[in-house]
Structure 1
C-alpha cells in the first residue's frame, strides 16, 4: 500500500510526453499537459479555503472541481463501505451483492484495514455461476488490484491514475496505514457532469416502484406530493416543516442530517425509510415501508 501512495506523487509531478498524449485517451489529452502546474496552483489557492468549505463551493458540477477538490471531499466514509471478508461463504456473498446493488466489492482479511483486492460480480458469476462449478468458494484467484491513495490527493490526479492503471475503485488510506474511506471513478465524474444514473436507478417515468404491498423502492428526488397521492397517505401532517418537496428532503428533516447507507429511519406516523444508497452529500435511493394498517 505504501508504494501506491508514494506513487501518487510521481503521477502528480511527472511531465507528459506529447508523443504519448494520444495513448492516454481523452482524459489524458485534457489534463496531461498541465495537470501538475495547475494543481500546484490550486493547492496554494486552497490555503484560503478550508477543506470543510470546498464541497459547498463545488456544489455545481464542472471541470474545475477536479482541481479544486481532494479525495477526502468526495470519498465514502469507512463506516459506510460495503466490503466482504475473504473467507465468506457463497450464499452470504451473493446476498451481499444482491442487497448492496453493487457490481464490485472490496475484499479484506480479518478487518477492512487489511484489504486484499477487489471482487467483480461478473468474475464470481463466470467462475461459480454460469459454468455450474460446485467446488468450494475461493476468492483469491478472482481478486483484482485496488488503488490506495491519501485523502489529500487532488481529484484530477486520482482520475488520471485510475485511467492509466484501469482501476476504477480506490481505498483512502490514513497516516497510520488504515482504511479511511472509499472512492470510485463514478464519484469523480459526478463532480464534472452531475449525478450519473446507473442500472439500479429508476427512470424519470418511474421514480418509484412497488416491490410488494406496502413497500416501495424510490429515488430520493421523488416529489413528495406525487408519492403521497400514490399511497393515499400524508407523510407531512405530523411535521411542522412546510417546505418539504422530496422524499429525500423528508428524511433529512426527520434526521437533521444525511443518513448513512443501511440506516432505517422511523416516521412518527409509523412508516419506515430504509436507506439503500447514499453518499456523504445526499440520499440517492430508499425503501419506504408504510404502516401495516394501510394495506393489511
Structure 2
C-alpha cells in the first residue's frame, strides 16, 4: 500500500512541472509583443517598457522561465497589472465563494446522481429509467447560463424564495451562506449530475449482468442484498473516476455560474482579468485551478485502493 501511495505522489511532480511550463508559455505563444497587448492600444512606449520589465519580458526566455518557476516555488505569482496588488492576495480573497460553490455542487450532484443512476439501472426500461435518460440529455444539452436564468426567474423573481444574485460569506452564518449559494449550486449541478448519473447507470447495468450477480440470485439472495452488498461496491472505481475527471467541467462551469449570479469568486476574477488583459492574474488562476485538478485526480487514484485491493500491489 505504501509503495502505491509513493508512486502516485511521485507521478504528480512531472505533471505539475508541465503545467507550470504551459502556463508560462501562454504569454509567448500568441503573435505580437505580450507587453503591448497587456498595455492596450493607447499605451505609451514608456508604459509598455515598464510592463516588460515588471514581467521580466526583457530577459532571455530561459531566464524568464527560471525566474517564473523560482517565484512560484516561493508562492509569488506576480502582481496584477490592472490593480497592482499581489496575484496571490487577489486569489485568496476569492477562494471561499468558489470553494463553497464547488463543494456544495459536488455534494448535491453525488447525492442526486448516484442513487438515480443505480435506480435507473435496477429498473431498466421503466418510467424512472426513461426519465433519467431524458434528464441526462437535457443536462448535457442546455447551457449552464440558460439554466441559471430560468432558475432565477422561477425561484427568485417570481417566487421570491431565494436571492437573485450575490454571495454571503460563511462568517455571516451558515444558513445565510447556504441560501445565497443554493441557486448557483443547483444550476451547476445539472451538468455534473447528468454526467455522473449516466456513467453510474451504464456501470451498474454491466455489473448486474455479471455471473456473480446471477449466482447470488440463484442462491436466494434478496434484491436489497444483491444491490447493496454485491453490486454497489463494484461500481466504485468507475463512478469515482468520472467524478474526478469531470471536475474540470465543474470548474469551467464555475466561471459561467459566478458571472450569472454575480458571485465574487475565482471564476469572476478570471473573467475580469481576461477583459482587462491582466495576464499575471490569468496565469495565477490557471495555476491554482490546474493544481486543484491534479490534487483531485491524485485523491481519485488513491481512492482506488479502497474499492479494488488489486491496485495496491
> Which TM bucket (shorter chain)?
under 0.3
Higher strand share: 1
Instruction: Tell me the TM-score normalised to structure 1 length.
Output: 0.26
* Structure with larger RCO (C-alpha < 8 A, sep 6+): 2
Higher helix share: 2
